[in-house]
Structure 1
Amino acid sequence: MKLSLGPVLFYWDRKTLLDFYADMASQPLDVIYLGETVCSKRRAMGLDDWLGLARELSQVSQAEVVLSGLALVEAASELASLKRLCDNGDLRVEANDMGAVQLLAERRLPFVGGPALNLYNGHALAELVNAGMVRWVPPVECSGALIRQAMAQLRGLDVTVPELEIFAYGHLPLAYSARCFTARAENRPKDDCQFCCQGYPEGIPLLSQEGQALFTLNGIQTMSGDVSNLLADYAGLSACGANLLRLSPRAAGMNEVITMFDAVRRGATPPLAIGGCNGYWHGQPGMLRAEEVGLC
């Protein structure tokens, strides 16, 4: 099983990003995703900066580097940036929007189908495989049973089966909106947000009246309140046919997370229970921890 590091979903300043990836370069990762997937106004790093970082990582790490595109393209300027991303001429691209799929298919370039694409069955997968998709990251709300069913259906359609990459750790990206919730929380208009997302390196927790974590607000993105963690489900992930496990970056503690997943993939016994949630994987509400409701 390979380990991948997903794109940073939060808005970190340039120095923080560069320091983070300098640290990640020495980690046992097989794939590293770079780029902005949430908001085009987050310009701490431009495309040229990401390409330069990719070259540096390639020199010090054996990991494959992939460029990730926006999940919500709203303006002509964002479409132009997406075209530049697809025309980078060097690195594979993760498509998180069907516009990116169209651009990459027109260029006959292989690509990664990201978790923001709504792919839930073998017929939809076949369409994208025929368009050039070589790796599929299912939507984060997919259960293991749904993924197995979709892959089995795909195999029956006589098309090449792509690599399967499961979102295995991190705050789950659940939804996107034209409205910026972080700016709204600070009573700022979206067009004059003052990049206030940088003040929340892991988003804004949204709690119920009882104090339970419901969601995490991250600009235009709504995320899970708790961190999803599928480490205890490693056997099921393997049985599902997963080729890669995606670990989504957090502001602290990523070295320890990678170490735990790396140990299990090398033969260590998975934990019986985990901190965080894993309900979606078991076909239950995502905020649940399956062990608590007797599913494991």
Structure 2
Amino acid sequence: MQYSLGPLLYFWPKAQVEDFYHQVMASQADIIYLGETVCSKRRELRSRDWLALAREIAACGKQVVLSTMALLEAPSEVKTLKSLCENGELLVEANDVGAIHFMAEQRKPFVVGPAINCYNAQSIKYLLDLGMCRWVMPVELSRDWLMKVLSGCENLNIRHRFEAEVFAYGHLPLAYSARCFTARSENRAKDDCELCCIKYPTGRLMKSQEGQKVFNINGIQTQSGDCYNLINDLSSMAGLVDVVRLSPQSTETLAWLERFRQAKEGGLASGYEGQCNGYWHNIAGMRNHSHSQS
């Protein structure tokens, strides 16, 4: 089983991003996803900066994957997408169908990201025929659903053709919108946002009137209010999951990466009270199904 760090979903200053990824180079992560997937106005790092960083990380022996935007709204964004897909060096994670089209056109392998609605073996076969080499399961699916999909792939004799990756730590990216919720929370128009999301390095928490954490808003992206954490569910991934994904929240993410690796050796991890794992257990996503209930 390999461990990946998904693309940074938040807007951090350039120096902070570079410092984080220099720490990543010395980490035990096997696969690193890089790039802006949420909002094209976040230009602390431009495409050339991400590519330079990717080459530096790849030189450390890690697999680097360039992640694309999940929601494109302007011709300029399509142009940037096309240039990333045509980088000629690195694997690409496609987070919308446009990226899949560009990669298939070049007959290049690609990763299908969690933003792509791929829920069954027939869809996986279609994507494999276009060039997919790794499937990141949509975050709302359960272990039972994964087993059903992979069983269908075995029946179609295609399971050996791709890796299965599961989002296992971080605020879950649930939805994308043309509206910017962070700007709206500051009574700003989207076109006059002043890049206010840089003030919220792990998103902005939204609570219900009863004080329950419901959502975490991150620009045009709506995330789960609680952090998703499958550290105590690693044993249930055996034989199903090839890659376990952690989504960068802060520098503490690298400490969690070490905890995940240690947890794989056996035993239960503590210190994740208030986090959730419901989707994996096919219950309400915001619930925490403790190991003692299993």
Aligned to 2:210: 210
Partners of 1:176 and 1:214 lie apart in 2 by: 16
Aligned to 2:100: 101
1:229 aligns with 2:215: no
What SS does structure 1 have at the residue aligned with 2:161?
coil
Partners of 1:56 and 1:177 lie apart in 2 by: 33
How many aligned positions are there? 292
Partners of 1:67 and 1:104 lie apart in 2 by: 12
Shift of 1:75: 1.4
Shift of 1:251: 2.0
Shift of 1:295: 4.3
Contact 1:232-1:273 within 8 A present in 2 as well: no
Aligned to 2:33: 33
Let me know the Cα RMSD of the aligned residues.
1.4
Partners of 1:50 and 1:16 lie apart in 2 by: 14
The percent of aligned pairs where both chains have the same amino acid is 48
Partners of 1:167 and 1:254 lie apart in 2 by: 13
Partners of 2:272 and 2:152 lie apart in 1 by: 31
What SS does structure 2 have at the residue aligned with 1:11?
coil
1:8 aligns with 2:12: no
Matches within 5 A, 1:1-296: 1-59=1-59, 61-159=60-158, 160-239=160-239, 241-265=240-264, 267-271=265-269, 274-275=272-273, 276-291=275-290, 295-296=293-294
Partners of 2:251 and 2:270 lie apart in 1 by: 24
AA at the equivalent of 1:282: H
TM-score (norm 1): 0.95
Contact 2:259-2:269 within 8 A present in 1 as well: no
Partners of 2:170 and 2:184 lie apart in 1 by: 24
Mark the runs of 5 or more structure 2 residues left unpaired by the alignment: none
AA at the equivalent of 1:13: P
Shift of 1:63: 1.2
Contact 1:232-1:274 within 8 A present in 2 as well: no
Partners of 1:225 and 1:48 lie apart in 2 by: 33
AA at the equivalent of 1:123: Q
Task: After superposition, give the CA deviation of every residue in 1:94-144 in whole Å (9 maximum; x if it has no partner).
Answer: 000011011101110100000000011000111101111100001000000
What SS does structure 2 have at the residue aligned with 1:215?
strand
Partners of 1:273 and 1:218 lie apart in 2 by: 25
Shift of 1:157: 1.7
Task: After superposition, give the CA deviation of every residue in 1:4-48 in whole Å (9 maximum; x if it has no partner).
Answer: 000000011100100000111100010000000001111111111
AA at the equivalent of 2:214: L
AA at the equivalent of 2:140: E
Contact 2:97-2:116 within 8 A present in 1 as well: yes
Partners of 2:238 and 2:17 lie apart in 1 by: 31
Partners of 2:141 and 2:2 lie apart in 1 by: 20
AA at the equivalent of 1:124: S
From the superposition, tell whether residues 156 and 164 of structure 1 become closer, same or farther in structure 2 (CA, over 3 Å).
same
AA at the equivalent of 1:28: Q
Shift of 1:237: 1.3
What SS does structure 2 have at the residue aligned with 1:191?
helix
Contact 2:232-2:263 within 8 A present in 1 as well: no
AA at the equivalent of 1:68: S
Partners of 2:68 and 2:183 lie apart in 1 by: 22
Moved more, 150-159 or 123-132: 150-159
What SS does structure 1 have at the residue aligned with 2:238?
helix
TM-score (norm 2): 0.96
Shift of 1:62: 2.0
AA at the equivalent of 1:56: E
Partners of 1:218 and 1:40 lie apart in 2 by: 13
